A = this chain, B = another copy of it.
Amino acid sequence: MFKKILIANRGEIAVRIITSAKEMGIKTVAVYSDFDRYSLFAKMADEAYHIGESPSAKSYLKAEKIIEVAKQSGAEAIHPGYGFLSERGFFAKMCEENGLKFIGPGYKAIDLLGSKTEAKILALKNNVPVVPGTEKPLHDFSLIKNIAKDIGYPILIKASAGGGGKGMRIVKEEADIESSLRMAQNEAKSSFGDDSVFIEKYIESPRHIEFQILADEYGNVVHLGERECSMQRRHQKIIEETPSVIMDEKMRNDMGECAKRIVKAAGYSNAGTVEFIVDTNNKYYFLEVNTRLQVEHPITEMRTGFDLVREQLKIASGEKLSFKQEDVVFKGHTIECRICAEDSENNFMPSTGKITYMKNVLSNGMREDTGIEQGNEISVYYDPMISKLISNGATREIAIEKMKRALRDYKLVGIKSNIAFLLNLLESEEYVSGNYHTQFIEKEFLGRLSSQKSSTDEETNAAVALAAVLFKEQKSLKIIKKAGNNSHSNNFWSNKRTESYR
């Protein structure tokens, strides 16, 4: 096993990696930007090196600098976390060239799976279903029509030079193919100077389901079950859960075996995630492989009892997987909610500022992963995730109830957060029944949200009004008293009854 590793990341995932490494007796080296000088992860690591200014491009993306620190500190391996350099083949390669172990797959596997086209070809070769469609750009009208007929409607036309939704068109039935195709090609021609298009089957109301896999460096691969990640807004996952309500034992086995086949074929090692989309008939199609630890990995940990970071470190240090597929036992139901600094009532605008108060009550079945402490600043430099709350219960119903209780008791002051939005989502009929998909929030939920303000009872109303008045009064007292005496504790000015209102 390694004696010392460097964590090329920040925030909650750096904390997460440091804890498992420390548990294994491995020394940890953090790297930090100006902003993160005193952040939790930088304090927790055994060593911490400054690598640059706050913008990621000037710190966490500086591959050479990070490699230099690794060598200087005597680290033997680098854990990239997620985001930043984690899926950059060139970085994995640089590590190798500098005699450092990259805690993740080899750079060849990263590059292979990083190419959508190559990954798709690999999937097809290995009997893993992909969304039916053309692999090459097409011009010819009648050819396209024939292919569309084969695939079956609805289909999606995509400009081959396009991106970000530009030049895309959904065609519901054959009658519309000619006009749609003409419009798409004209649009593509004028936008990109290239009228060639791809076509593929359009999946309506799809679910996003992914499989966690672990592969050692000797060709042994297991999957640790699925994660249902369909609760998304603008492709950002918000709530994840395992198991998926649509999954049965057969489907789990089939998809799990698909996931294993594709990573095996790619010569993959370490932890990874194979993503699928699933249509309303529970037909699944390979989407891509994320060649790193996922944000939502804790739900898999709580349902299987494994520590994924520990497994990553063991694999990277050359150990064989210590268990087989049949040893993986799933138990209970687990949910993750991402608490983010954003204003759900104002178009999810990111919210910056200082967190002046932060308090959880976890108890039975709850876990929190966070890199934030009370007093920390939420900045514009990094993503707005404050914390991941994870609940675990014997049943899905219990897991939901635990999550809702913990969210209600979670207090966060100084920035706006999506806690109320998360609670609304968890209480939606669709979430309760499990009947949701990746477009649910944007197409159905948001519109409904603004119209449903629950009424307030007399007592709540009185409490709200009184709290506002007490706040106003305290503020004016504060101004009169100016600074006042400094109290070290968290329990600020308590208004004991004796010194209370006249």
Contact = CB atoms under 8 A, between A and B. Distances in A.
A367 B365 CA distance: 8
A64 interface: no
Contacts of A364: 16, 19-20, 298, 301, 307, 309, 367
The 5 closest A-B pairs by CB, nearest first: A375-B491, A375-B489, A375-B490, A19-B363, A374-B490
A248 interface: no
Nearest to A21: B405
- Does more than half of chain A's interface fall in helix, strand or loop, or is it mixed? loop
A301 B38 CA distance: 36
Interface residues of A, number: 58
A236 interface: no
A29 B409 CA distance: 16
A272 B363 CA distance: 20
A62 interface: no
A401 B310 CA distance: 12
Contacts of A398: 23, 307, 310
A44 B361 contact: yes
A394 B307 contact: yes
A329 B394 CA distance: 11
A355 to B, nearest CB: 8
14 contacts: A15-B361, A15-B363, A16-B364, A19-B361, A19-B363, A19-B405, A305-B332, A305-B393, A331-B331, A356-B488, A356-B489, A363-B369, A376-B491, A490-B490
A329 B329 CA distance: 11
Interface of A: 15-16, 19-20, 22-25, 38, 40, 44, 298, 301, 305-307, 309-310, 329, 331-332, 354, 356, 359, 361-369, 373-376, 392-394, 398, 401-402, 404-405, 408-409, 483-492, 494
Given A331-B305, A489-B356, A490-B490, A409 B363 contact: no
B363 A16 contact: yes
Contact of A488 (B19, B40, B332, B492): B492
A59 B252 CA distance: 55
Nearest to A367: B362
Contacts of A25: 401
Contacts of A44: 361, 409
Nearest to A356: B488
